[in-house]
Amino acid sequence: MPKEKILIVDDEPNIRLTLVEALQGWGYDPIEAGTIAAGRDLFESEQPLAVLQDVNLPDGSGIDALREYKTRQPQAVVIMITGNVQLEDTIAALRGGAYDFISKPIRLNELQVTIRNGLEASKLRREVVTLRRERAQQFNFDQIIGQSFAMMEMLRLAKKVAASEASSVLLQGASGTGKDLIAKAIHYGSSRADHPFIAINCAAIPGTLLESELFGHERGAFTDAKARKEGLFEQAQGGTLFLDEIGELEVGLQAKLLRVLEEGKFRRVGGLKDLPLDVRVIAASNRDLKSESEAGHFRLDLYYRLSVIQIDLPPLCDRGDDVLLLANYYISQFNQRLRKRVRGLEPDVIEIFRRYPWPGNVRELRNVIERVMILEDSDFITTAWLPRDLIKDERPKPKEEFYAAAMPVASVPLAISPQGRFVLPESGIELEEVELSFVRQAMERSGGNQTRAAELLGISRDQLRYRLKKIEDIQATD
């Protein structure tokens, strides 16, 4: 295993010799330079993990060299050394990112401890940076699966929110729609990505403990408070705090949270002073918080404060063939985990997945795929191991019945092209007025349910949305 390199930059040969011998004895690989310029070149070519930098050298200031080192390699441990300690130099060095400041004559025992602690701290910082980069790639918006109109519109809004300075965001959607995934994508797609992402489920912690969890407490604030504790707001400083199931928050805590969001500061339980807040709060709920507010179950003023930016996550039944994209993704995941080679879905399973309303949304789909993958032995997923709820015989009304019952608007037969367009079978001419008439009738017949209307028309839900938008445009110009 290669030894850790440490660069010595000092214009006194005797000091360099002493430090080289000491570092070698401690198990490090020392390299040395007598000038700022030589030290800069060695730092660039050798990339040492630590630097012992003299403050005053003939060709420049060690403080300026420190700033260059930290600009090129922020994780480098730079320990400043001087024979004439001045307060101004010490302050400048620490502000420039120096790990510590040591005076001459150098006490080697002290230096050994300082180097060891500095390298350990640097290693931890590098590991944190690596972990955050991996998580940023894992939760990148590009990793979110979905090509439906509803999903693309939601992601477009979420990306804008991530790039903004919005201090609070509200995610609303049924259980299993992926609110936690979108919250992480917003965090790791923002300028806060290098800072913590802290999540808490407000429904999982009793109200008596939740205040201390969120805001922290001072020693002696209550019976078991034997030491000061940082709350989640403090731990998330500079980053994001995700409050899942915020609709379960007790009314008293809702008022305190509103104060924090409004004033940009908070106070520990039992504390006497306010602490500044630099946190983006992302709240999520599977309830309609506006309705909950109107019913008196959630503070209306808190709802308005949170919903300045509101993102509604579409249920899986409104996402068209995203269900098939997600199914294939989970098949690939479980192939690796279960060491199987399932290639996909049988055609009849595809139709079942398209028809099924998925009340449990993406979470339910994932569980279904996991169950079937455990039990299935064939190359494709068949109906053999599907849960009973999925294979109930509740087939929708065939599109042929709909067209037979629909009011005619032209004395010509109608057909559908492979692209989902309504055309004259013989001439291939697009019949815009005809298709929009059938769209209106399908929406009336389905009671406004777009998924059902698309099934009646024999087109995808995205194609139906496109035509509904066209109707809106026509009505707007009338």
Q: What is the DSSP string of 202-227?
A: TTSS-HHHHHHHHHEE-TTSSTT--S
323 plus 420 within the same structural domain: no
Residue 404: the pLDDT is 61
Distance CA 101, CA 93 (A): 8
472 shares a domain with 365:
no
The whole-chain average pLDDT of the chain stands at: 85
Rounded average pLDDT over 380-384: 89
User: Of the candidates 215, 208, 210, 194, which has an alpha carbon nearest to the alpha carbon of residue 244?
Assistant: 210
pLDDT in tens, 93-150: 677 788 888 888 889 999 999 999 999 988 888 887 777 777 777 788 988 999 999 9
pLDDT for 15 beyond 50: yes
Which of 69-83, 86-100, 367-381, 404-418 has the weakest average pLDDT?
404-418
Domain boundary among 279, 312, 345: 312
Q: Are 70 and 78 in contact (CB under 8 A)?
A: yes
Contact 118, 75 (CB under 8 A): no
Please say if the pLDDT value at position 397 is more than 80.
Answer: no
Q: Looking at 82-96, 204-218, 309-323, which range is the least confident one?
A: 82-96
Residues 180 and 300 in one domain: yes
pLDDT tier at 460 (50, 70, 90 boundaries)?
confident
The domain in which residue 103 lies consists of: 5-131
Phi–psi pair at 118, nearest 5 degrees: -65, -45
- What pLDDT does residue 85 have? 62
241, 342: one domain: no
Using the predicted structure, report yes or no on whether residue 358 has a pLDDT greater than 90. yes
Tokens (6 digits) for 264:
């940009």
| Residues 376 and 296 both lie in one domain | no
**Residue 112 shares a structural domain with residue 180:** no
Q: With respect to residue 361, please indicate whether it lies within any of the assigned structural domains.
A: yes
pLDDT score at 369: 96
- Are residues 461 and 372 part of one domain? no
Torsion of CA 248, 251, 252, 258, to 10 degrees: 90
Q: Number of helices (H) and strands (E), helices first, in the chain?
A: 19, 20
Question: Which of the four pLDDT bands, split at 50, 70 and 90, describes residue 396?
Answer: very low
Take residue 80 and report the two structure tokens written for it.
Answer: 């400043």
Residue 83 has pLDDT above 90, yes or no: no
Residue 424 in this model has a pLDDT that exceeds 70: no
Query: What is the DSSP track for 99-165?
Result: SEEEESSP-HHHHHHHHHHHHHHHHHHHHHHHHHHHHHHHT-GGGS---SHHHHHHHHHHHHHHHS-
- The Cβ of residue 383 has, within 10 Å, a number of other Cβ atoms equal to 12
- At residue 92, does pLDDT exceed 80? no
Confidence of residue 402 (pLDDT cuts 50, 70, 90): low
Q: Grade residue 411 by pLDDT with cuts at 50, 70 and 90.
A: very low
With H, G, I as helix, E, B as strand and everything else as coil, classify residue 434: helix
What confidence tens digit (pLDDT) does each residue in 285-344 have?
999 999 999 888 899 999 999 998 999 999 999 999 999 999 999 999 999 999 999 999
* 429 pLDDT tier (thresholds 50, 70, 90): very low
* Per-residue pLDDT, 311: 96
Q: How confident is the model at residue 437, as a pLDDT? A: 79
The pTM score is 0.65
Condensed to tens digits (0 to 9), the pLDDT of residues 139-179 reads 889 889 999 999 999 999 999 999 999 999 999 999 999 99
CATH at residue 170: 3.40.50.300
Q: Is the pLDDT of residue 430 over 60?
A: no
pLDDT of residue 400: 56
Q: Give how many domains the chain has, as a whole number.
A: 4
Residue with tokens 């403090």: 234
> Is residue 68 included in any domain, yes or no?
yes
At residue 10, does pLDDT exceed 70? Answer: yes
Query: What pLDDT is recorded for position 399?
Result: 59
Write the CB contacts of 286 (distance below 8 Å, at least 6 apart in sequence): 172, 173, 174, 175, 179, 245, 247
Name which residue leads in pLDDT, 39 or 88.
39
Q: What is the share, in percent, of the chain residues with pLDDT greater than 70?
A: 87
pLDDT at 461: 73
Q: Evaluate whether residue 151 is within a structural domain.
A: yes
Q: Are residues 97 and 221 in the same domain?
A: no
Whether 19 maps to a domain, the answer reads: yes
| pLDDT value at residue 169 | 96
Query: Which residue would you say has higher pLDDT here, 408 or 58?
Result: 58
Are residues 339 and 198 part of one domain?
Answer: no
β-bridge pairing 344-345 and 380-381? parallel
Residue 409 vs residue 236, higher pLDDT = 236
Whether residues 28 and 82 share a domain: the answer is yes
**CATH code of the domain covering residue 387:** 1.10.8.60
Which whole number is the average pLDDT over 226-253? Answer: 90
Same domain, 177 and 265: yes
Structure tokens, 278: 């630099």
Q: Cα–Cα distance between 45 and 39 in angstroms, integer?
A: 10
- Look at 16-25, 122-131, 194-203, 424-433 and tell me which has the smallest mean pLDDT: 424-433
d(CA 161, CA 212) in angstroms, rounded, equals 29
Is 22 or 276 the better-scoring residue by pLDDT?
A: 22
Residue 51 belongs to some domain of the structure: yes
Which of the listed residues 312, 342, 374 is the one where a domain comes to its end?
312
CA distance readout (Å), 402 to 2, 124, 182, 431, 448: 75, 65, 38, 18, 15
Look at residue 389 in the predicted model and tell me its pLDDT: 85
Q: Say if 136 falls within a structural domain.
A: no
pLDDT reading at 428 higher than 60: no
Rounded CA separation 89/103 (Å)? 12
Q: Classify residue 332: in a domain, yes or no.
A: yes
Q: What is the dihedral of CA 73, 186, 301, 304, to 10 degrees?
A: 130
Residue 33 lies in a domain: yes
406 vs 33: which has the higher pLDDT: 33
**Final residue in a domain of this structure, among 391, 412, 431:** 391
